[in-house]
């Protein structure tokens, strides 16, 4: 079985509070994008994982070489397979091959996308027939973004990630992505958010307005309503995120914003042609800009020839 595990962007990211157990209560407008890892699943007598890195880093040389993606229990896709075994008592195995195209430490949910695809695919490969809500419950135990990645498309996401309200129709928007610096630790950014510097100005999104603008395909109004409360925090640690946003807007983006806890910044464009021109301009300046668009699905089965 061959699957596309699609990345995501945050149109908005807001934090409403924190639970007693330390988890943050979120309010986010999220959407899948066409940029995807490829996940291959075949029957095997145990869980085996291998990774092919098909992603060419956009990070400059001074950031240093990226650490290799782990292929053991540290990998969230491996954890997903083990969690599915434990939850069902299934003793089947699988050989999992991940071909990585989604940047790491980017705020695009690459690991969570892989985990979601593994849960989705092994549920079929092992003939478990678990309903979607049960897969989301298992997914939440290994990552807060996994329930959304299993659902895909456009959704309003709340709680700690378990509340996923699908919204349709999911509009098509063209995007250019830049990762101007090395990845950021989600835990580090959330911890810094809880203890901000006094001088830090955090801008909050108008998520309902952004949702309405997106459904109306009013990208100018969307740009005005978007925001990410973590961006100011991430900027203090990676100032190049701000530089990337300005470059995208100078290249014609209606609005540029960091997704998740960073470090990828995306620009929204009115059409593919405008986005392609901006991508070419940024590549000419030495940046590995990626062109993609939003998607109405998070996981797609690929027909093998």
* Confidence label for 171 from pLDDT (cuts 50, 70 and 90): very high
Buried residues in 93-127 as b, exposed as e (16+ CB within 10 A): bbebebbbbbbbbbbbbbbbbbbbbbbbbbbeebe
Phi then psi for residue 236, to 5 deg, are -65, -25
Tell me which of 27, 37, 145, 182 is the catalytic residue: 145
140 close to 162: Cβ distance less than 8 angstroms? yes
Say which range, 32-36, 51-55, 58-62, 258-262, has the weakest mean pLDDT: 58-62
For residues 234 and 240, give the distance between their C-alpha atoms in angstroms, rounded to a whole number.
10
pLDDT at residue 198 is higher than 80? no
Buried residues in 229-268 as b, exposed as e (16+ CB within 10 A): bbbbbbbeebebbbebbebbeebebbbbbbbbbbbbbbbb
Active site residue 145: yes
Domains plus CATH for the chain?
Answer: 2-168 (3.30.230.10), 174-293 (3.30.70.890)
The whole-number pLDDT of residue 199 equals 74
253-283: pLDDT as tens digits = 999 999 999 899 999 999 999 999 999 999 9
């Amino acid at each position: 079985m061959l699957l596309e595990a699609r990345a995501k962007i945050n149109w908005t990211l807001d934090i409403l509070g924190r639970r007693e157990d330390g988890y943050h209560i979120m309010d986010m407008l999220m959407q899948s994008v066409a940029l995807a890892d490829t996940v291959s699943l075949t029957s095997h007598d145990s869980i085996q994982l291998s990774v092919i890195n098909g992603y060419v880093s956009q990070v400059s040389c001074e950031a240093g070489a990226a650490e290799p993606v782990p292929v053991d229990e540290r990998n969230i896709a491996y954890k997903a397979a083990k969690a599915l075994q434990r939850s069902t008592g299934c003793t089947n195995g699988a050989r999992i091959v991940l071909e990585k195209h989604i940047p790491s430490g980017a705020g695009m949910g690459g690991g969570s996308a892989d985990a979601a695809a593994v849960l989705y695919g092994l549920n079929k490969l092992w003939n478990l027939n678990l309903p979607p809500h049960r897969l989301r419950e298992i997914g939440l135990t290994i990552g807060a973004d996994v329930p959304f990645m299993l659902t895909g498309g456009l959704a309003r996401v709340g709680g700690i990630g378990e509340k996923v309200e699908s919204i349709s129709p999911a509009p098509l928007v063209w995007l250019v992505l830049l990762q101007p610096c090395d990845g950021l630790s989600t835990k580090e950014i959330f911890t810094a958010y809880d203890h901000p510097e006094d001088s830090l100005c955090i801008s909050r999104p108008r998520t309902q307005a952004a949702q309405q603008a997106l459904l109306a395909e009013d990208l100018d109004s969307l740009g005005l309503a978007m925001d990410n409360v973590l961006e100011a925090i991430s900027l203090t640690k990676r100032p190049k995120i701000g530089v990337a946003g300005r470059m995208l807007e100078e290249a014609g983006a209606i609005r540029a914003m960091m997704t998740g806890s960073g470090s990828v910044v995306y620009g929204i464009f009115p059409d593919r042609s405008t986005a392609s021109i901006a991508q070419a301009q940024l590549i000419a300046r030495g940046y590995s800009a990626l062109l993609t668009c939003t998607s109405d699905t998070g996981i797609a089965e690929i027909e093998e020839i």
